[in-house]
Chains A and B, each alone.
Chain A
Amino acid sequence: MKTGNPQLDGQGNLKHFLTIEGLSRALLVELLDRAEGFLGVTQQAVKKVPLCRGKVVANLFFETSTRTRTTFELAAKRLSADVLNLNISTSATAKGETLLDTLRNLEAMQVDMFVVRHASSGAAHFIAAHAAPHVSVINAGDGRYSHPTQGMLDMFTIRRHKGDFANLRVAIVGDILHSRVARSQILALNTLGTAEVRVIGPRTLIPAFAEEALGVRVFHDLREGIRDVDVIIMLRLQRERMTNALLPSEHEYFHLYGLTEERLAAADPEAIVMHPGPINRGVEIESQVADGPRSVILEQVTNGIAIRMAVMSMCIGTQNIAMQADIKTDGEPNG
């Protein structure tokens, strides 16, 4: 049950991308560097490279998503892969087909990669453990556990603005308890050597033992928590938190934890503001900040495609190309 890292093949190459946990700093940096190369591709007139030509990628979404699924689809298409989109709502699985039956059927269609989103923590690990040996699994979000491509696209965005992580203070604000995004960001930030990672929220939304279990400093006061930070990451607040006694109202939440121009002043003057989207204007962030000069929220979306191209090509790319030069020519990769 704990034999090695299930994400790496025998040679230590990325086979699945399930979580940031257990991946080395060098591998994360390689991923970021590779994404840097793909960012050029996404800005070209002809936005395609043939690294995954002939491969079949299945987007297997057991939980609905627009943005994440679309960026995965675009990423796969820009790598010249064929893409299947399967929205398997829970009602479809309720027809009787089990998760494993669904997988077996797709494997029989010679799918090379599953991009999986599922409501249960650990679902991506489970699917990777039971997939055929030739299939790669990318986690597009499982329960509260992990959303590693989101985590890495955020690292990519931070690096483009701030360079090195060693001197950075990063604050993540909001519902940490239920957030796979926060868990992935925290793991990535710590692996990349970030000086200080803070989480800010009411006690009901911060996991027990967060400091030692996640490696963060916990703040319950927004003003105190964002003082002098270089990066502020706001998390989306789900409406259902109000109905199960975790929060009293959106009003009080915004009053205490909503990011406003005035509060932003406590952060470093160069601080950037991030949000994994979709944003709730007036709940966790006011529009002036979301649309303001410090916001890099839309950039995150663009970067998401480059990161997902990098992850997919590392897992099922036809070869480990020496990156940038080849990609920019849009030519056949050598050999």
Chain B
Amino acid sequence: MAEVERISIRGGRLIDPANRIDREVDLHLADGRVLAIGEAPTGFEPERVLDARGLIVCPGFVDLSARLREPGLEQKATIASESRAAAASGITTLCCPPDTSPVIDTPAVAQLIQQTAQRLGFARVVPAGAMTRDLDGKQITEMAALKLAGCPVLSQADRPIRSAQVQRRAMEYAATFGLTLFLHPQDPDLTSGGCAHEGRMSARLGLPGIPEAAETVAVARDLALAGQTGARIHFRGLSTARATVMLAAARGRGVQASGDVAIHQLFLTEDDLDGFDANCHLVPPLRTRADRDALRHALAAGEIGAICSDHQPHDADAKLLPFPETAPGISGLETLLPLALRLVTEGVLDLPGVVARLTVGPAEILGLDLGHLSPGATADVCLFDPNDCWIPTPETLLSHGENSPFLHAQMHGRVMATVLDGHIVFERMNDR
């Protein structure tokens, strides 16, 4: 498959939000680039023609947070298993947080991850470098070196810096090199010991709570520091209504801040913890219906520019414990698209709006020239059938993580082919 250099994708509905294209038109790729939209240039002879009639053709998805667990946590997943799952999910670029083992706090680890991903060839893996050494929250990393080693953004994964002074210095130093900081806005003290939103459900189930203020306090601090330092910050995985309002207000004042939401936060709420379902143990926790609705609203209004999978694959044992002791997180790559399409069904966004928040939105946050199909652009393309009906099960998942509350639920929308750098890296076309 990797030998094919010239591809024509014919008869599909091309949705390219960056170029405001939404119409039935052919797409031609050559030498890893978008060659043309519409008529093929004279003399163009594709080696492969994909019949996209009835399908949506769009830029490959860009996922701002997917843990691959390699190096160091291979009992949970590997770059091979997860990047293959990404390809099957239409995701061509994914950003992996630095909480590997060792942490991505040196160029060597960043390069190791990229080289492994390149050798496998399923997806483009963009490592987020650590802001502090070993994510200790104290000593900042060699940020310039990490940038040169392929980290366009830096992050503390889910271990935010406690000290406002260190946070401020990290922002200033990162801003020197134009590095965006991906922040997990959860105050470590207010979050400590908690495993559920502090609300009606935690009161009933006796689960140690994480108050809304755990997020708003962190967002307030980081917005103030971003305003002070001029750093560019991105809130990874917002969960509360108030935080979306604070973000919008700060953006209005010119603070360089953005935000994303994990796809499951748009569907699940604290109510889903009933029965102590460990697959609904998340950080930040699932919050109220009102929070969920506000996240949807902020997404529709464009204040939240990206939806991500927040993929966190776990080994089975990590969830085979009483709820508070389980490892938080959902294996989310393979349900990203069908869940996002539910936003169309439920009237939150139109189809181009959903595609934008999976492509050009996150690409802009990463600062990478991806997520669009302009002539000459990188040929990352996803072909999906918005109506194909399927049910995810442990047997069908390619990810090594089977920790999902959406297993056995009916999904609409399925990826039929994925093109990365002009190569077909996943194909289900024959099953049609």
Contact = CB atoms under 8 A, between A and B. Distances in A.
Interface residues of A, number: 29
A2 B274 contact: yes
A122 B278 CA distance: 10
A208 B203 contact: yes
Contacts of B206: 121, 143-146, 180, 183
A2 B275 contact: yes
A122 B202 contact: no
Contacts of A21: 204
Interface stretch (A28-36, A210-218, A220-228, A318-326): A210-218
A209 B276 contact: no
A208 B209 contact: yes
A121 B274 contact: no
B254 interface: no
A100 B320 contact: yes
Contacts of A123: 322
Contacts of A269: none
A212 B204 CA distance: 10
Interface string A1-43: 1100010000000000000010000000000000000000000
A120 B325 contact: yes
Interface in B159-211: 198-209, 211
Nearest to A123: B322
Given A122-B323, A126-B276, A143-B324, A209 B317 contact: no
Contacts of B51: none
Given A126-B276, A208-B198, A121 B207 contact: yes
Given A122-B207, A208-B203, A142 B198 contact: no
B323 A126 contact: yes
Interface residues on B, range: 20 to 34
A282 to B, nearest CB: 28
| Max chain A Cβ within 10 angstroms of own Cβ: one of B276, B278, B317 | B276
Nearest to B200: A213
Nearest to A6: B275
Nearest to A186: B204
A34 to B, nearest CB: 27
A99 B317 CA distance: 11
B322 A98 contact: no
A266 B325 CA distance: 44
Given A1-B405, A2-B275, A145 B205 contact: yes
Contact of A130 (B198, B203, B279, B320): B320
B203 A207 contact: yes
Nearest to A144: B206
A125 interface: yes
Given A1-B405, A2-B275, A121-B207, A209 B199 contact: yes
Given A2-B275, A213-B204, A208 B199 contact: yes
Given A1-B277, A121-B205, A212-B200, A126 B321 contact: yes
A118 B322 contact: yes
Given A121-B205, A122-B207, A99 B321 contact: yes
A40 B176 CA distance: 81
Contact of A120 (B203, B320, B324, B405): B324
Interface in A118-153: 118, 120-123, 125-126, 130, 142-146
Contacts of B211: 208
A148 to B, nearest CB: 12
A147 to B, nearest CB: 10
Given A144-B206, A145-B206, A214-B204, A121 B324 contact: yes
A213 B274 contact: no
Contacts of A2: 274-275
A15 B340 CA distance: 41
A143 to B, nearest CB: 6
Interface in B302-356: 317, 320-325
Nearest to B197: A208
Contacts of B275: 1-2, 6, 125
A331 B317 CA distance: 47
Nearest to A212: B200
Given A98-B321, A122-B205, 9 more contacts: A1-B280, A6-B275, A118-B322, A120-B325, A121-B208, A126-B322, A143-B322, A144-B208, A214-B204
30 contacts: A1-B275, A1-B277, A1-B279, A1-B405, A6-B275, A100-B320, A118-B322, A120-B321, A120-B322, A120-B323, A120-B324, A121-B205, A121-B206, A123-B322, A125-B275, A126-B321, A143-B206, A143-B322, A143-B324, A144-B206, A144-B207, A145-B206, A146-B206, A208-B203, A209-B203, A210-B203, A212-B200, A213-B201, A213-B203, A213-B204
Interface of B: 198-209, 211, 272, 274-280, 317, 320-325, 405
Top 9 nearest A-B pairs (CB, nearest first) are A144-B206, A122-B276, A145-B206, A120-B322, A207-B203, A213-B203, A123-B322, A122-B323, A213-B200
